[in-house]
Chain A
């Protein structure tokens, strides 16, 4: 297939690579690590890409953000605008607002960059939220991944603050109202509230001249640095622990099936980066977002109807609208209303999210290690709780647009707010119950690969290798399945070692497996896969002990009935 020239070029290249790697190894001792890094396996599943999408949004946010920072002027000095946007000509505004108008109308590619930055932030938050949902519903936060859950939730929290600080930088009417509300929320904190708000803003609202410089410093340095550090830790831990995977043929708690980092995964992941960039820059150029020139500069005595924050803050704004008009006054002191929806509620919500891995351990009395994921239907209670939380979140987010929705539906905002107030209780209950029921129904359905009868379809591919499709056997619950099976013959090595007795849990009933093996060398499978046979996770903290060619272990899973 290859010509002489190609072979000689390959030899030359190999020599160069050797020299370069030797040079590095002489200084860093890097070869051992680098080899295992390049060979590292990442499982393939579409839902595993969502976290990556968030990461690539962050990359694009950094790139577009650096461009914007070149032109943004964090100054609250007042200037009179004269520029290409005639509707604002002659109007006085802060330099901050003027510089963003300038980015939008005078800086080349400025508008695309600005809108792409904003879209990227919205998608970033959506990807993080979706990613967290995936982790939650599949139980990927379980031991040993609790630390990464904590880091991930912190990433969510910091990203929210980062997003809000960026949204506030243009000093337009919309974001100015948002800042006013946040000042009020901070001011409402018992004891230290006013002091804290005055220190952050540099004085009474709208703050001293230093305020936008501070906000800018926070937005373009402090929080990005924090995010980069947390993200680095998040990835390093993922790297060390290896990615989780769904149960399936050939997959066990102790192996990992997927693509190698080099070259498969690298190229595919780079492709994902370019697709994320395509969507974000496409939106940035073609779909208008946050047209601050329409809102006008911020003035404290103005605010307009239809005032909504970006979507990821919507749930807090909605809570501000739905919370009853309670204020507590006694002994000359007062706990003002914004404290409850603005500080207490998110405090409780985030405490609950942070604590979830440990609550889940208690709930299921499961303190063991898990590398195979749950399917949401297999943990109905957890799934129901998650769905209830989603309903709560959606209800509050809808509430942040009561005036807009009320207009659209032709009902008064008062009724809509009352509906959503009830909805914040009824929605989660109904949603949770329905989710629970759906889980139970799905469990009883025939589409459950883990409970499928032993056996399956045997196919023969172009290279003569046999594959058993869906030949799964026994092992219910967390991951007691899979072992042996066929999974790793996807790439043509034959024989795949489940001949022996490596797979546990179903000592007797394995006739169909034999068929698959039959064509190859019966004994010669790559025993490795057999070695990973057992993994009874029945008892927390202990693992089965499948070893090379020994039918041991077998704990955990019940063998499925052979049919």
Chain B
């Protein structure tokens, strides 16, 4: 038995154990902590499967950003948890549902094991068709050229999601600053962190996007890092969150997808199809799209964390 196999088996058992623990544990807060650990382990597993892009996305979005949102939700829900627990269905129903869930899980596991091996894949087809896109990372090639429409629509989906968050604001607060971020008492450690970390974070974010053209990385991962830096600065109180009615902010939110559509539409005349790139200009255009999309996605993700508008008072102060 090789060392790698032992590590893989341990990872698999750990992930399964954590997944069961997340389901079984009663307190939402502990479940969220378990979920974050689970996500980080999943990221390692993706690395083991040589899917570095997926690993980065899992770590940044699936674990980091989602974990933050879930932690916030768990903290707010804590006072109601006992009451909710008392309202759970009877034991018989729970056992029945548990058994059926187990049956579905086992069925799915069997189906996955029965999938054709070696797995049929488009990887070689993608590799053959990568040169016209000018990029070296096949994931970027697929996301920005072969399946550009999916990436475009995915980045558009973020907007209704953000509007959904904003829509729970009170009418008088509309257009004001977002108010869901915690604002811990000022401490020199937090301030120092918020001053020292962002320059590096921004560099890492830009590197991820720039690098994404030829190596693992890309706009979603880079944007998450940028958003995290922004949120850190806001939580430390070094800057106030912008009022959501500000036109510059609104432009920032939509400019990425609009540029994407604009370049895609110009493809109709210059390259013969919507979302096609003219020969020889594919790579610079893809980089341009990635750059503006990163800004828009970072702003959207940051604002998703910052929550609905709560009026114009600075965050953290209670009226």
A and B bind:
no
Q: Which residues of B contact A (CB under 8 A)?
A: none
